[in-house]
Amino acid sequence: MTSFMSPALPEHVAIIMDGNGRWANARNMPRAYGHRQGMETLHTVVRTAGDVGIKYLTLFAFSSENWRRPETEIIDLFGLLKTFVRRDLAELHARDVRVRVIGDRANLKSDILNLLIEAEQKTRNNGGMTLVIAFNYGARDEITRAVAALVRDIRSGDVADDGVTEEAISARLDTAGIPDPDLIIRTSGEERLSNFLLWQSAYSELMFVPEYWPDFGKDNFLAALAQYSSRNRRFGGLNPPVSVAGS
């Protein structure tokens, strides 16, 4: 158990795990090697997050845009997912981690879909950290599906005609019941969200770090948490409040 403690520990951290391929290319290795090394970083960060008391950790594992990558790379990524479920799920379960998967499950092949369901079902009663895996996920697609669901509920009479609210949309997102991320980290030096948690990130603290994902170790993660704890989150207001004479 690490000794890291913070009075402002984020409840929910989300990470865009970027740079595996470039990390491998810099070493004249195939991209698949970078993805495999990235899995080792994933193990380290998940363990560290649980140790320090993070309640929710969301990892951008496979975006809906990743289907544009070469088929060989997609096959390798799916192979890593299978390895994760077969090898690492037992450890997560033993550590009381609950796994939740977000993203569009329509048209996923049955073997992949069954793996995702297995991970959720095996850990559904765990009470420790919730590990959210964003797989075949895109934020615009998520919002579109949520709005379509709300429209169906209005047409069916389950929701009033004036029931289009932020709360109603949030309740139909893949992340329903999960608090919005306090901190979003992106590795590799890129400074964009790339269609990740666009609705949920309205007031998230954003942190873009130069390290490629395979180089983002325990110390880097703890440093990000420490930097987060020094930030002043105002959520559109004034903090501390300004005293106005006569008010």
Binding-site annotation, residues for Mg(2+): 18, 205
Binding residues: 18-23, 31, 35, 63-65, 67, 69, 186, 192-194, 205
Q: Which residues are annotated as a binding site for substrate?
A: 19-23, 31, 35, 63-65, 67, 69, 186, 192-194
Cβ atoms of 111 and 78 within 8 Å: the answer is no
**Rounded Cα distance, 26 and 2, in Å:** 32
- Contacts of residue 4, defined as CB under 8 A and 6 or more positions apart, other chains included, come to 52, 222, 225, 226
* Alpha-carbon span 91 to 94, nearest angstrom: 5
| Alpha-carbon separation of residue 45 from 99, 149, 153, 156, 218 (angstroms) | 15, 35, 39, 44, 6
Enumerate the active-site residues: 18, 66
- Beta strands (DSSP E) in 75-139 are 98-102, 130-137
DSSP string, 145-208: HHHHHHHHHHHHTSS-TT---HHHHHTTSTTTTSPPPSEEEE-TT--S--SSSTTTTTT-EEEE
- In angstroms, rounded to a whole number, what is the distance separating the alpha carbons of residues 134 and 196? 9
